[in-house]
Amino acid sequence: MTVPDGLKRVVLIGFSATGKSVLAPFIAHQLGWTSIDLDVEIERTAGRTIAQIFESEGESGFRAREQQAVRDAAARHGVVVATGGGVWLNADNRSLLADGGFVVTLEARSASILARYAETEQGATEVRPMLAGADPRRRVETLKAARQPFYALSDLTVHTDEIEISEAVDEIVSAVQRRAAAALCSDARLQEMRNGPGIDPPAMADFGPDVGCVVEAGSARYPVYCSWGLLEHCSDILDRLGLRGRVFLIADQAIIESHGSTALQSLQAGGRLVMPYAVPSGEASKSLSSLEALYGWLSSHRAERRDIIFALGGGVTTDLAGTVAATYLRGMPLVHAPTTVLGMVDAAIGGKVAIDLPSGKNLVGAFYQPRAVLADAATLATLPPRELRSGFAEVIKHGFIRDEQMLELLDESAESLLDPAAGAHDQDRRQLLVDVITRNQAIKAAVVSADERESDIRAILNYGHTLGHAIESVTGYSAVLHGEAVAMGMIAVAEMGCSLGLIDEALVARHRRLIERFGLPTNGPPGLDRADIVEAMSRDKKVVGGKQRWVLLESVGNPVVRDDVPADIVSEAIEAVIGAA
C-alpha cells in the first residue's frame, strides 16, 4: 500500500480503553509497517507493570519513563504508535509525535469505556492507577472532559463505540492516504499542536510511591498509602503534600511506646518541630473530657491553622484526633497514621470523626477529610492478638458487601494474616498483608468517594454495625471490642436475611465459618439483656422516622438497606446472638 511521502508514523491518541492497543497492529498490517504500544514498551524496559511503577515511583516516575518511550518511538519510521491516555497532554510529546506523524484520536462514550474496563479487568488484582479508589464513572467523565481539548488537536477522530475493527482500520487507513500529505505540509498545524489548546493540561497530582488508592470525595481528594515501614518516610510524604507547619502528634499511649519514636525521628529528621501528646488507650478516651484536654494543649502551644494534626493509633485515636482537627480553629490539616487493621481499612478513610456520649457511640462529630492516610503494615506486628482479630471483622464485612473473591482469599490465608510479625522476615507474608489492606482501603475509598456524607450508598458500610454498636453500648465500650461486636452483628443480619428469604442458610453458615476462622465471636458475652439491646438500637444514628434501618444481603456483593424488617424477625436474630451466650 502506498504511503504518503514524508509520513513517518501514525499516532493513536485518546482516553484509556478507546481501542488504541487493539487497532494499532491491524493498521500497521494494512500499511506494511510495525506497531508500538508505549505502555508495553514501558513495562518491558522497567521489568514491572504500570501499576507497580506507579506504586514504587509515583506518577512523576511513570511520566519520565513515558517520555523516554515517546522519544524512542519518534526515532523510528514506519510505525503505528499506540499511546497511553495522558501522553498527548505533554507539549514535548506532541511535538515529537506530530512532526512527521498523522495523529488520530479514538473516542468512546463513558459507558463503553467502563464496560471495557469491566471486561478486561475481571479477576485482576491490580487497579488502574488512574481510577484507584475513585467512583469509576465520575473519574472517567472528569478526566475525559479535562483532556478533550488536547485530543481535539488531532488530524482525525474515530468513534469506536459500536464500530467493527475492520471498519475502524479502513477509515483510518483511508484518511491517512487522503489527508496525511496535506497535514504534514502545514506549519500552522504543528505549531498549534506544540502550543496546545490554550489551556493548561489537567494538574498532575503526584502523590509518590506506595499509594494504594485515592479518595475522590466532594470536599477533598487525597491519597491513601500502604506499605511496610511507611512511618520511616512520613516526613517525605508531608513534604510531597505541601504540609509545612508544625506537627501536633496525637498518639495512643501504647503506640507512642512502640512506634511513636519511628514517626518522631522521621518528622524531626525532616526539620519539623513536633509536639507529642499521648492519649490513654481504649474507647473511654473518645470523650468530651479528652476533647477538652486536647483543646487546652493546642491552645497552650498557640497552634495555628497551617499546623498539622498527625493522628497515630487505632480507631479511637483516629476519631478523637480527627474531631480535634475538624473543630479547633475551625479546621486544621489532618493526617491519619492508623496502626490497627480497623484504622487502616475503615476508620481513617472517609472523613467520619466522632466522640462518644454516655448515651451512645459516635454521637458528636463531623465529616472532615484528612490530607492523607499513612498505613504502615509493620505496626500490626506489635498489635495485641485480640485487637488484630477484631480489625479483621471490617475486612470480612467488606468481602460480604463488595468482594466475594476476597472472602475466598481470607479463608485460605487466615493463619498468615493473623501473624503479621512473620512479615518482618517473610517477604511473601508481608506482601500478602499489604495487598489485603490495600484491597480493603480501595473498597472503602470507592464507597466514600461515591457518597461522602452517608446519604445513600455509604450506608452499606454499616453491615453488622447496628446491633454491633448496641452491644458495645450496653457493655460500656470495654468488655467487647468494636470488631467483635460487628462480627456478632453480621451473624444477626445474616439470620435476618435468611428469615426474610433474601439469602439461604449456606450463606449464614459461611458467615459463621469465616468469622470463627479469624477467632471472632459469633455469640455475645454472658449477661446481655435483649431489652437493653433494643433500647440501645433505638438511639442509633441510623434510625430514620422512628424506623430502624438494616443493611442486609441479597447475595454476596449485593447489600440492600431495609427499614421494614418485622419486629419478630429482629427479635429472633438478636436471640440467635445473645440467647446462646
CATH number at residue 529: 1.20.1090.10
55, 394, 472, 484: which is the annotated catalytic residue? Answer: 394
259, 336, 389, 469: which is the annotated catalytic residue? Answer: 469
Give a yes or no: residue 2 inside a domain: no
Do residue 410 and residue 273 come from a single domain? yes
444 catalytically annotated: yes
Do residue 250 and residue 364 come from a single domain? yes
286, 336, 397, 458: which is the annotated catalytic residue? Answer: 458
What is the full per-residue pLDDT of the chain (581 aa) written as tens digits?
788 999 999 999 999 999 999 999 999 999 999 999 999 999 999 998 887 888 778 778 889 999 999 999 999 999 999 999 889 999 999 999 999 999 999 999 888 888 887 666 544 444 444 444 445 666 677 778 888 999 999 999 999 998 999 999 999 999 999 999 999 999 999 999 999 998 888 766 678 788 888 887 778 889 999 999 999 999 999 998 999 999 999 999 999 888 999 999 999 999 999 999 999 988 889 999 999 999 999 999 999 999 999 999 998 999 999 999 999 999 999 999 999 999 999 999 999 999 998 887 788 999 999 999 999 999 999 999 999 999 999 999 999 998 888 999 999 999 999 999 998 899 999 999 999 999 899 888 888 877 777 666 678 899 999 999 999 989 887 789 999 999 999 999 999 999 999 999 999 999 999 999 999 999 988 888 888 998 888 877 666 666 899 999 999 989 999 999 999 999 999 999 987 44
Q: Phi and psi at residue 248, in whole multiples of 5°?
A: -100, 100
CA distance 440 to 432: 12
Give a yes or no: residue 453 inside a domain: no
387, 454, 484, 495: which is the annotated catalytic residue? Answer: 454
554 catalytically annotated: no
Q: How many domains in the chain?
A: 3
Coil, strand or helix at 279: strand
pLDDT of residue 456: 61
336 catalytically annotated: no
- Nearest CA-CA partner of 491 in 413, 572, 545, 566: 572
144, 482, 511, 542: which is the annotated catalytic residue? Answer: 482
362 catalytically annotated: no
Domain that holds residue 413: 211-448
Do residue 429 and residue 472 come from a single domain? no
Do residue 288 and residue 428 come from a single domain? yes
20, 63, 352, 389: which is the annotated catalytic residue? Answer: 352
Do residue 233 and residue 334 come from a single domain? yes
Give a yes or no: residue 527 inside a domain: yes
454 catalytically annotated: yes
pLDDT of residue 200: 82
Give a yes or no: residue 344 inside a domain: yes
pLDDT of residue 489: 96
Give a yes or no: residue 205 inside a domain: no
Q: Phi and psi at residue 87, in whole multiples of 5°?
A: -55, -45
361, 397, 444, 511: which is the annotated catalytic residue? Answer: 444
Q: Name the domain boundary from 420, 448, 476.
A: 448
458 catalytically annotated: yes
465 catalytically annotated: yes
233 catalytically annotated: no
The dihedral sign for the CA sequence 329, 333, 338, 343:
positive
| 404-417 vs 505-517: helix crossing angle, rounded to 10 | 30
159 catalytically annotated: no
Do residue 291 and residue 188 come from a single domain? no
Q: Compute the residue count for the chain.
A: 581
The dihedral sign for the CA sequence 209, 138, 143, 131:
positive
398, 452, 462, 511: which is the annotated catalytic residue? Answer: 462
Give a yes or no: residue 456 inside a domain: no
Residue 510 CB coordination number (10 Å):
17
Give the H or E element holding residue 66: helix 50-74
Q: Output Rg (C-alpha) for the chain, integer angstroms.
A: 27
Do residue 335 and residue 434 come from a single domain? yes
Distances (CA, A) of 368 to 332, 347, 365, 507: 10, 12, 9, 36
330 catalytically annotated: yes
Give a yes or no: residue 442 inside a domain: yes
